[in-house]
Structure 1
């Protein structure tokens, strides 16, 4: 049925279907990663300054990667983070603040693990007494993104921390003027840090490599199929409207011819 309005409607449907097809192709491109080698290589030690910037977010390449940077440990800025698993046993982390010079910034670090919160508090007392604020440590550890804030239980101290949130730790630090990295480091017990752990009676924290990234993002793939379905539905919708109009027109024409024949 060649009617101007239906031809214009067909052109509009073709534009809509083409748009949906383009969106589906774009979503499909986002769903399939052709090269995941850069994301999968998290164990090669890389300078933190190459992967992240102070004050900025932590991208996918930096999260979970083993990094290195030089820094000085700031006395008095230690905290305890409870309910932390280490080797399948629950305990507490001693976390602290390292100041870096190149660039001038600060980074949160999970230094060591203690069996109980009281043991962690005792370790902090020892660290505050022994740490030389001018000593530069060559730090190595796994860079991790900030965790979601967790509210303490109703019967717990409201100041108890059970998640590693650098933005919260900043509020407990003293004399902060330089920017802070968004994530935090889980320190490895290398030559510089090992004596510190021994002196404080802390165990090294498990540094677990992240799971290998998937090559196919199934959610994006589902969205790609969805766009194709939408495009097909637009064409089908036009076809049904046109066919209904054609059938109605021919039905009226047949009724008119029948009425004319009956009148004769």
Structure 2
């Protein structure tokens, strides 16, 4: 089958297979995370201003990092958020509005803070009302906590209050707060009780603050794509082989048929 068209078809199949093989190699190179890639130390306490900015969303370097920030809570803007899991149990979060300190003459930024967890909405409501009555609630304090990205929005069911909060979404909370005339952080803070927040618990439980899992060294999705490209490369060569073989078998059968036909007899 050394016909020009089949030689050209073979070269085309090899070109396509080479392209697929290159794509597979590219996917494999992206699948393996280099050990030299920087790993964020989420447990080293940093100032909030160094890992987050109100002008952008939560970055990969800032998500899950333990931070410190100074400011004060705003009475009357605390909310309840449920259902929330804590230590394997379902309950309610008490969420507050925290305004960070800024240079003199400049407004502070708004930060949503998950203050504490209650086993039921009634206990959380009592704590919320106590916060609003406590003059110490609005005093300046240094908070420590884990800075987390906003959660996806959840629409309340038809039988629920449309104002029911089910997701920690600072952009939505900002619409419920009063007199918001300064920027709002895209993420929120899960408050730790160690610094500036112990007296705020009021018998409630601190919220679980779990460090994010480190990224995997191998992206199995990229590995799957790489295997797909290798299969496509093999199929390109196999496709050429099948076409060439079918053409050869057809020509061979026609040749055998022509040889099997009897020669016409001479009438003379």
- Shorter-normalised TM range: 0.7 to 0.9
Deviation at 1:153, TM superposition (A): 4.8
1:4-43 alignment, distance < 5 Å: 4-35=4-35, 38-39=38-39, 41-43=41-43
Deviation at 1:144, TM superposition (A): 1.9
Q: 1:5 to 1:68 in 2, by over 3 A?
A: farther
Map of 2:257 onto structure 1: 255
Q: 1:71 to 1:254 in 2, by over 3 A?
A: farther
Deviation at 1:239, TM superposition (A): 1.5
CA distance in 2, matches of 1:97, 1:216: 40
Q: Is the 8 A contact 1:20 1:227 kept in 2?
A: yes
Give the root-mean-square deviation of aligned CA atoms. 2.9
TM score, norm. by length of structure 2: 0.82
Map of 1:225 onto structure 2: 227
Q: 1:13 to 1:182 in 2, by over 3 A?
A: farther
CA distance in 2, matches of 1:131, 1:231: 71
Q: 1:7 to 1:96 in 2, by over 3 A?
A: farther
Choose which of 208, 211, 221 in structure 1 pairs with 2:210: 208
Deviations 1:104-138 (A, max 9, x none): 53222101122321222222222223357974432
Q: Is the 8 A contact 1:71 1:138 kept in 2?
A: yes
Deviation at 1:37, TM superposition (A): 7.7
Q: 1:17 to 1:99 in 2, by over 3 A?
A: farther
Answer with 218-227 or 122-131: which moved more: 122-131
1:132-147 alignment, distance < 5 Å: 135-147=139-151
Q: Is the 8 A contact 2:115 2:200 kept in 1?
A: no
CA distance in 2, matches of 1:36, 1:105: 36
Q: Is the 8 A contact 1:79 1:95 kept in 2?
A: yes
Deviation at 1:169, TM superposition (A): 1.5
Number of aligned residue pairs: give it: 261
TM score, norm. by length of structure 1: 0.83
Specify the SS of the correspondent of 2:94.
strand
CA distance in 2, matches of 1:18, 1:78: 61
Deviations 1:74-125 (A, max 9, x none): 3322110022222333321111222333895322210112232122222222
Deviations 1:150-186 (A, max 9, x none): 3445544332223222232222122334433322110
